[in-house]
Structure 1
Amino acid sequence: MSLPSPLSFVAKAPVVPVVVIERLEDAVPLARALVEGGLPLIEVTLRTPVALEALRLIAAEVEGAIAGAGTVINRAQIDATIAAGATFLVSPGTTPELTSAFTEAPIPIMAGCATASEAMRLAELGFEVLKFFPAEASGGAAFLKSIAGPLPHLRFCPTGGIGPANAGDYLALPNVVAVGGSWVVPSDAIRAGDFGKVRELATAASQLKRAAKFG
């Protein structure tokens, strides 16, 4: 099965910011800071009451942003986020029902997995880049390195417990196309309206080197 691929998106930057927006007024300046810092992919997690409207604002108002939705766990959220302007979707895991809904979605999906068997099944269904979550708790970079030999066709965007101290360990692996992380969007900086700090962290993250090849 051929599904829309997220590879052209994740090729643009080594880090996908995982964003939790508590106040709607933070959405646009936060996204602009990330784009200006070189991280155009923005995963707006559906964890707060304003998340959907925040996604809508970013998609409509922030030039250069590639806005997506994270923590997608059911079909209704797929429909709602696409209507809000999401250009990609990310899930923490993938139930059979969610998998079925994802295969019908018109935009790229990074479906979540935590084991080799889950990853193999999703790859068989046509998912090209998988979210490995929770990365550190599920074996970390060592796990992804160990399965690269027997399963070289699988590609991952690991998320969960990743920060500046270990992001390079993941990005050094050829089967890791990008990493997801919240360290570039610290909650204290957002609460203080310090989007300059976000821009600074995004700039540093955008310069991380990765071993994965695209195309």
Structure 2
Amino acid sequence: MAPSLLDLAPVVPVVVIEDASDAVPLARALVAGGLPAIEVTLRTPVALDAIRAIAGEVPEAVVGAGTVLTPEQVTESVAAGARFLVSPGWTDVLLEAMRASGVPFLPGVSTTSEVVALLERGVREMKFFPAQAAGGTAYLKSLSGPLPQARFCPTGGIGPANAAEYLSLPNVGCVGGTWMLPDDAVAARDWGRIEELARAAAGLRAL
């Protein structure tokens, strides 16, 4: 059985790529820093090209697609080389498309009812989004008692100041974030700085 997506690294960088030519050097910097699982969000017109480039030229990266909202995006992402899928929320239609894709997926939840509904459908690994706005570590702690079988990748409002607190929770496998990708470093193509920030993030462990 393949290792869980939640166990690849403590932090999954959430990447918004505006220029497809940045995709490969950015991915190489993240991998060199110890963050192999890279979520490229489908928020820009070049996102699929970026996934394709990373999948083709950075084999040590585990590249995935984020902000997946439709079955069509599921198909396009997997065709481009995405090895996992992440959505901010889910519907039965989207869930079935992700399940049929054959790659690991993390449907997004922010309420207890959504978690129970996914467990009912046989899904145990989920994205908790928007993590801080939806209740943060206190909410996740509350879920661990009645729903210990659910595991989460919290994303949204997480940074170096609070990531370790999330990672200390028994139902959190990893966290997603953007703090190792500051806008000015990406704009300057300062891949060395991004690698350093990635290395610091990869070193985060539970409190």
TM-score with structure 1 setting the length? 0.93
5+ residue gaps, structure 1, are none
Contact 1:109 1:127 in 2 (8 A): no
**Residues 189-200 of structure 1 mapped to structure 2, 5 A cutoff:** 189-200=185-196
**Residues 42-61 of structure 1 mapped to structure 2, 5 A cutoff:** 42-61=38-57
Q: Which amino acid in 2 is paired with 1:95?
A: T
Could you tell me how far apart the structure 1 residues matched to 2:206 and 2:98 are? Answer: 28
What percent of counterpart residues are identical?
58
Q: Which amino acid in 2 is paired with 1:46?
A: L
CA deviation vs aligned residue, 1:61-115 (integer Å, no higher than 9, x gap):
0131000000000000000000000000000000222122222221100011110
Contact 2:165 2:206 in 1 (8 A): no
The yes-or-no answer on 1:8 pairing with 2:1 is no
Could you tell me how far apart the structure 1 residues matched to 2:183 and 2:87 are? Answer: 22
Q: Which amino acid in 2 is paired with 1:104?
A: A
5+ residue gaps, structure 2, are none
Instruction: Name 1:109's counterpart in structure 2.
Output: 105
Q: Which stretch shows the higher mean deviation, 178-187 or 119-128?
A: 119-128
**Residues 1-215 of structure 1 mapped to structure 2, 5 A cutoff:** 7-210=3-206
Could you tell me how far apart the structure 2 residues matched to 1:124 and 1:60 are? Answer: 37
TM-score with structure 2 setting the length? 0.96
TM-aligned CA distance change 1:147 to 1:9, over 3 Å: closer
Q: SS at 1:25's partner residue?
A: helix
CA deviation vs aligned residue, 1:179-198 (integer Å, no higher than 9, x gap):
00011111210110101111
Q: CA RMSD in A?
A: 1.4
Report the number of matched residues: 207
